[in-house]
């Protein structure tokens, strides 16, 4: 056997079939074992698995397999986040139906995942575009509506005036429609919202208890929720009216040099009625993107309304501007602007020649220091009348106190978090299950009529929402009065689909979304793994849905994910050259790379670019199928775990994967030596073996896969060097078990070759012998004149006399003594010998 090579092209498929047939990874809801729910973020069926998926799913797979070996009932499911824009784009470009495109991709990607040997419970597979899934989502949406957590409101959308359609944010490129190229306008439409703001405090407080989450992600969520405490107060305007503003920095009030309102603020609207220039400016502001990020980076623009606002302390008359950087949806939609201490105000004041005053300084002595940009930190008040020398916190309280006392303002908490707009004017999504009746208004579709199924016969080739154009689909009878009515044609944001899929994985009865008792058995997910790009929206929405369902009594869990891990990316350098003034990229497969440079196969030179995330556009990708076909699933899986810590980026390298392939073969040869004889005893190897068992377990539990891999390398080398013995045979068997979660096909093949019963996937993690875990040798430090002179190994528990003799026998120590008389020897057992002369 040792002469043969491990052949993944034979073995991989054989074991994958064996696991399927035995339903090895099917999770049992009724099991009495301790449970473990391992979940990787489910993929969008774009067409092919990419290498990032492979890394992500390999990590989850190691945990799932390891936990099974430790006696857990493991739930490790997989499904498809199958609604969304790309299917519609493909439909337009390739003239295929979004459904067939999506299901074809699912079939391809499922086959790819199978070839990697993931320990998944495929019996729970789901696709969010299946009415059997989204029908339940519609029911939950109606439940939330009935509980007052869903409502409708007018809100701005991106409108493409040429294509006459609403655009998703991703379809707005540099303020223009992606297809028409026309400047995008903002339009008001009645849209559906989920009341996530009703959970703001809960979602914030909950973060404190998520100690299994990366600190970085918790901070990102905290900032997104954005609780801020400040002052809301009224300026009296020159026309006698009041204007409410909100500030988080009332301590800077003496630095206010102008006031600004949002373009859609009533004050701006009133001004525009009699001022065509103001109206034109407001129109101008409507162009461009609607996201906060876009507003943040856009050039600051303003229009002076001619109105003045009276400063509550100084009675100064501050000009009132309409400004594009003020958002109607935040605070009161109006601000006091303090250019010295807010960068947006600073940019604006610089542009329009408004005063920039310092009213905060790191210390009182720096009151006169000039400002070349806004100073946004804390400090003490300067140039601020009665606030002077007060630290930021004290000054904030002082101003709020005075405002409340004189009744021109009060302390207020404001949240950055907005309610979640879930309406999408698209076809390929979950239909929002409501009906509009002229008589009865908005009526929920009765639950016994769910699911509201998407029509199949749609015309996707034209812009706009095909559900609106469909000749019959939307025309229905009102469930309440029976009169003629129309269906809602908006579909749900796909983030809704991914906000509860982990519940449906845990329990999927046909007649309801899930059984809360079964969900309670599995949830929270013990280990969730995914990309950092989902740190905010997906994770926050999923936390919100879980809490919302708990609040309306559908669930007992409140936090869906006990532990979260965000893995690094797989990276590779890029190869390119200029062709006709454009940078053209070449894929690694077409490139000859030497130590010094890179060329095409015809010898023409290429530029080597930075090592960056693998992406199609830079052609620096490797195809998982190709490498699995070449090296086998186990070598690929092993590579995904080796070298880099899992949270860091992993540079792909040909040498790396070849090294993994060789290691697979090394282990295989070792398995072949299992019965090489059992004469002699090898206590040292037994010790190493048991220490490896403990260490690999600890590393996997800590998700330090690269360290676990290194341990297995070490153990393998030690076994290779050791002469035949019973301990060596045991060590070989142990190495196989330790590697099994990572290289499951090789492990099964070896398990069978060793004549073991059953599947290694069902085997237990090896036991450790505590006696073998402790070291039997210790390192002793020898000191003379307070300095370390030598270190020696000694048997653990050696006597004082023995250690003294050993120390004095050291050549280095003798040199240090230089013949001086030894006056005293102090021995700390197992640690130290100190020689005094």
Distances (CA, A) of 300 to 259, 296, 359: 14, 9, 23
Identify the residue among 178, 330, 408, 585 touching ligand ANZ (CB under 6 A).
330
Q: In the beta sheet, which residues pair with residue 320?
A: 259
Which residue, 229 or 837, is less far from ligand ANZ as judged by CB? 229
Answer yes or no whether residue 475 interacts with Zn ion by CB under 5 A: no
Identify the residue among 165, 191, 247, 498 touching ligand ANZ (CB under 6 A).
247
Q: How far is the CB of 431 from Zn ion (least distance, A)?
A: 19
Token couple for 279: 């109206």
What is the radius of gyration, based on Cα positions, of the chain? Answer: 34
Q: How far is the CB of 493 from ligand ANZ (least distance, A)?
A: 24
Distance CA 78, CA 501 (A): 10
C-beta separation of 398 from 363 below 8 A: no
Identify the residue among 481, 484, 676, 684 touching Zn ion (CB under 5 A).
481
Q: 185-194 and 420-421: which strand pairing?
A: antiparallel
Q: Which stretch binds Zn ion (CB under 5 A): 477-485, 543-551, 610-618, 704-712?
A: 477-485
**Interaction with ligand ANZ in 174-233: which residues (CB under 6 A)?**
228
Identify the residue among 33, 317, 439, 648 touching Zn ion (CB under 5 A).
439
Name the residue among 137, 24, 127 with its Cα closest to residue 500: 137
Q: Which stretch binds ligand ANZ (CB under 6 A): 2-10, 142-150, 331-339, 665-673?
A: 331-339
Collect contacts of 507-513 with beta carbons under 8 A, ≥24 apart.
507/29, 508/124, 508/126, 510/132, 512/136, 512/139, 513/136, 513/137, 513/139, 513/140, 513/554
By a kind-dependent CB cut-off of 5 to 8 A, residue 440 interacts, out of ligand ANZ, Zn ion, none, with Zn ion
By a kind-dependent CB cut-off of 5 to 8 A, residue 587 interacts, out of ligand ANZ, Zn ion, none, with none
Identify the residue among 191, 252, 494, 716 touching ligand ANZ (CB under 6 A).
252
Answer yes or no whether residue 382 interacts with Zn ion by CB under 5 A: no
**Interaction with ligand ANZ in 477-536: which residues (CB under 6 A)?**
none
Which residue, 349 or 437, is less far from Zn ion as judged by CB? 437
Token couple for 372: 């070349």
Which residue, 331 or 466, is less far from ligand ANZ as judged by CB? 331
Identify the residue among 46, 104, 236, 248 touching ligand ANZ (CB under 6 A).
248
Answer yes or no whether residue 437 interacts with Zn ion by CB under 5 A: yes
Identify the residue among 36, 268, 335, 614 touching ligand ANZ (CB under 6 A).
335
**CB-count burial class (<10 Å; 0-12, 13-18, 19+) for 764:** exposed
Answer yes or no whether residue 327 interacts with ligand ANZ by CB under 6 A: yes
Q: How far is the CB of 368 from ligand ANZ (least distance, A)?
A: 18
C-beta separation of 618 from 97 below 8 A: no
The string of DSSP codes covering 345-393 is HHHHHHHHT------EESSGGGTT---SS---S--EE-S-GGGTT-BHH
Q: How far is the CB of 321 from ligand ANZ (least distance, A)?
A: 12
By a kind-dependent CB cut-off of 5 to 8 A, residue 333 interacts, out of Zn ion, ligand ANZ, none, with ligand ANZ
Token couple for 55: 């890394």
Alpha-carbon torsion (160, 166, 172, 178), positive or negative: negative
Token couple for 647: 């949270």
By a kind-dependent CB cut-off of 5 to 8 A, residue 754 interacts, out of Zn ion, ligand ANZ, none, with none
Give the phi and the psi of residue 173 in degrees, each rounded to 5: -115, 120
Answer yes or no whether residue 484 interacts with Zn ion by CB under 5 A: no
By a kind-dependent CB cut-off of 5 to 8 A, residue 326 interacts, out of Zn ion, ligand ANZ, none, with ligand ANZ
CB-facing half-sphere around the CA of 255: CA atoms within 13 A: 30
**CB-count burial class (<10 Å; 0-12, 13-18, 19+) for 441:** exposed
Q: Which stretch binds ligand ANZ (CB under 6 A): 160-168, 205-213, 248-256, 381-389?
A: 248-256
**Interaction with ligand ANZ in 383-442: which residues (CB under 6 A)?**
414
**Which residue do the tokens 């979260």 mark?**
564
Identify the residue among 51, 322, 336, 700 touching ligand ANZ (CB under 6 A).
336
By a kind-dependent CB cut-off of 5 to 8 A, residue 437 interacts, out of Zn ion, ligand ANZ, none, with Zn ion
Alpha-carbon torsion (36, 41, 46, 50), positive or negative: negative
Distance CA 752, CA 243 (A): 80
Neighbours of 582 (CB within 10 A): 8
By a kind-dependent CB cut-off of 5 to 8 A, residue 246 interacts, out of ligand ANZ, Zn ion, none, with ligand ANZ
Which residue, 338 or 731, is less far from ligand ANZ as judged by CB? 338
Identify the residue among 135, 331, 431, 433 touching ligand ANZ (CB under 6 A).
331
By a kind-dependent CB cut-off of 5 to 8 A, residue 480 interacts, out of ligand ANZ, Zn ion, none, with Zn ion
Distance CA 521, CA 265 (A): 50
C-beta separation of 735 from 716 below 8 A: yes
Which residue, 439 or 662, is less far from Zn ion as judged by CB? 439
Which residue, 268 or 435, is less far from Zn ion as judged by CB? 435
Q: How far is the CB of 298 from ligand ANZ (least distance, A)?
A: 12
Residue nearest to ligand ANZ (CB): 341
Q: Three-state secondary structure along 742-766?
A: CCHHHHHHHHHHCCCCCCHHHCCCC
Q: How far is the CB of 191 from ligand ANZ (least distance, A)?
A: 20
Q: How far is the CB of 441 from Zn ion (least distance, A)?
A: 8
Answer yes or no whether residue 249 interacts with ligand ANZ by CB under 6 A: yes
- Reduce the DSSP state of residue 310 to 3 states and report it: strand
Which residue, 249 or 487, is less far from ligand ANZ as judged by CB? 249
- Reduce the DSSP state of residue 492 to 3 states and report it: strand
Q: How far is the CB of 477 from Zn ion (least distance, A)?
A: 8
Q: Which stretch binds ligand ANZ (CB under 6 A): 243-251, 498-506, 599-607, 696-704?
A: 243-251
Token couple for 695: 């260490």
Distance CA 593, CA 599 (A): 7
Which residue, 437 or 732, is less far from Zn ion as judged by CB? 437
DSSP 722: S
Answer yes or no whether residue 341 interacts with ligand ANZ by CB under 6 A: yes
Distance CA 319, CA 354 (A): 9
Q: Which stretch binds ligand ANZ (CB under 6 A): 73-81, 125-133, 215-223, 338-346?
A: 338-346
Answer yes or no whether residue 326 interacts with ligand ANZ by CB under 6 A: yes
Answer yes or no whether residue 265 interacts with ligand ANZ by CB under 6 A: no
Answer yes or no whether residue 322 interacts with ligand ANZ by CB under 6 A: no
Q: Given the rule CB under 6 A, which residues bind ligand ANZ?
A: 228, 246-249, 252, 326-327, 330-331, 333, 335-336, 338, 341-342, 414
Q: Given the rule CB under 5 A, which residues bind Zn ion?
A: 437, 439-440, 478, 480-481
């Amino acid at each position: 056997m040792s002469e043969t090579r491990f052949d993944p092209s034979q073995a991989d498929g054989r074991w994958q079939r064996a696991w399927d047939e035995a339903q090895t990874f099917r999770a049992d809801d009724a099991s009495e074992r301790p449970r473990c729910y391992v979940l990787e973020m489910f993929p969008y069926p774009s067409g092919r698995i990419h290498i990032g998926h492979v890394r992500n799913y390999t990590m989850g797979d190691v945990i799932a397999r390891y936990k099974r070996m430790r006696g857990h009932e493991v739930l490790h499911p997989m499904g498809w986040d199958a609604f969304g824009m790309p299917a519609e784009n493909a439909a337009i470009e390739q003239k295929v139906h979004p459904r067939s495109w999506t299901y074809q991709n699912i079939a391809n990607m499922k086959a790819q995942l199978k070839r990697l040997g993931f320990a998944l419970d495929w019996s729970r597979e789901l696709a969010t575009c299946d009415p059997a899934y989204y029908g339940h989502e519609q029911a939950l949406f109606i439940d939330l509506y009935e509980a007052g957590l869903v409502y409708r409101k007018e809100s701005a959308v991106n409108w493409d005036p040429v294509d006459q359609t609403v655009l998703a944010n991703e379809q707005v490129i540099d303020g223009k429609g992606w297809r028409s190229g026309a400047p995008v306008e903002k339009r008001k439409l009645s849209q559906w919202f989920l009341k996530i703001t009703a959970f703001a405090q809960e979602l914030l407080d909950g973060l404190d208890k998520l100690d299994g989450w990366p600190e970085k992600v918790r901070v990102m969520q905290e900032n997104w929720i954005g609780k801020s405490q400040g002052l809301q107060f009224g300026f009296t305007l020159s026309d006698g009216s009041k204007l409410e503003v909100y500030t988080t920095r009332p301590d800077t009030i003496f630095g206010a040099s102008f006031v600004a309102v949002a373009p859609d603020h009533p004050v701006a609207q009133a001004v525009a009625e009699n001022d065509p220039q103001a109206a034109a400016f407001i129109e101008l502001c409507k162009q461009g993107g609607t996201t906060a990020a876009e507003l943040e980076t856009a050039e600051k623009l303003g229009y002076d309304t001619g109105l003045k606002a009276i400063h509550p302390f100084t009675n100064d008359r501050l000009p009132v501007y309409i400004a594009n950087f003020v958002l109607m949806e935040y605070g009161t939609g109006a601000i006091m602007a303090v250019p010295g201490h807010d960068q947006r105000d600073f940019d604006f004041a610089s542009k329009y020649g408004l005063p920039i005053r310092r009213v905060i300084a790191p210390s009182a002595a720096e009151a006169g220091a000039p400002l070349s940009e806004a100073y946004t930190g804390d400090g003490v008040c300067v140039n601020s009348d009665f606030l002077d020398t007060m630290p930021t916190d004290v000054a904030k309280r002082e101003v709020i106190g005075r405002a409340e006392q004189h009744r021109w303002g009060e302390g207020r908490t404001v949240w950055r978090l907005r309610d979640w707009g879930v309406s999408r004017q698209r076809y390929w999504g979950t239909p929002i299950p409501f009906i509009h009746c002229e008589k009865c208004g908005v009526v929920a579709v009765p639950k016994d009529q769910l699911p509201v199924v998407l029509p199949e016969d749609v015309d996707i080739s034209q812009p706009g929402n095909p559900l609106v154009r469909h000749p019959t689909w939307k025309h229905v009878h009102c469930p309440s009065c029976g009169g003629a009515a129309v269906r809602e044609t908006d579909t749900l944001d796909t983030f809704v689909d991914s906000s509860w899929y982990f519940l449906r994985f845990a329990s999927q009865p046909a007649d309801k979304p899930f059984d809360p008792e079964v969900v309670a058995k599995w949830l929270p997910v013990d280990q969730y793994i995914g990309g950092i790009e989902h740190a905010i929206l997906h994770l926050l929405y999923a936390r919100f849905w879980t809490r919302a369902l708990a609040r309306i009594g559908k669930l007992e869990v409140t936090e869906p994910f006990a532990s979260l891990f965000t893995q690094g990316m797989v990276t590779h350098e890029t190869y390119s050259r200029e062709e006709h003034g454009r940078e053209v990229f070449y894929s690694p497969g077409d490139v000859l790379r030497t130590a010094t440079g890179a060329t095409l196969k015809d010898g023409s030179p290429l530029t080597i670019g930075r090592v960056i995330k693998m992406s199609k556009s830079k052609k620096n990708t490797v195809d998982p199928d190709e490498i699995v076909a070449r090296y086998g699933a186990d070598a690929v899986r092993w590579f995904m775990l080796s070298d880099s810590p899992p949270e860091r980026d992993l540079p792909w390298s040909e040498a790396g994967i070849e090294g993994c392939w060789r290691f697979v073969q090394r282990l295989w040869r070792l398995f072949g030596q299992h019965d090489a004889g059992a004469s002699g005893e090898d206590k040292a190897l037994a010790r190493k073996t048991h220490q490896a068992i403990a260490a690999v377990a600890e590393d996997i539990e800590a998700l330090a896969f690269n360290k676990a891999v290194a341990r297995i390398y070490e153990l393998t080398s030690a076994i290779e060097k050791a002469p035949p013995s019973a301990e060596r045979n045991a060590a070989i068997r142990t190495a196989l078990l330790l590697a099994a979660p990572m290289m499951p096909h090789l492990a099964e093949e070896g398990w069978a070759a060793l004549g073991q019963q059953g599947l290694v996937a069902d085997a237990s993690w090896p036991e450790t012998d505590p006696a073998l875990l402790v070291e039997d040798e210790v390192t002793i430090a020898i000191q003379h004149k307070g300095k370390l002179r030598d270190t020696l190994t000694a048997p653990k528990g050696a006597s004082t006399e023995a250690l003294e003799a050993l120390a004095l026998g050291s050549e280095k120590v003798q040199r240090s003594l230089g013949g001086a008389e030894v006056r005293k020897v102090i021995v700390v057992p197992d640690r130290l010998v100190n020689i005094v002369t």
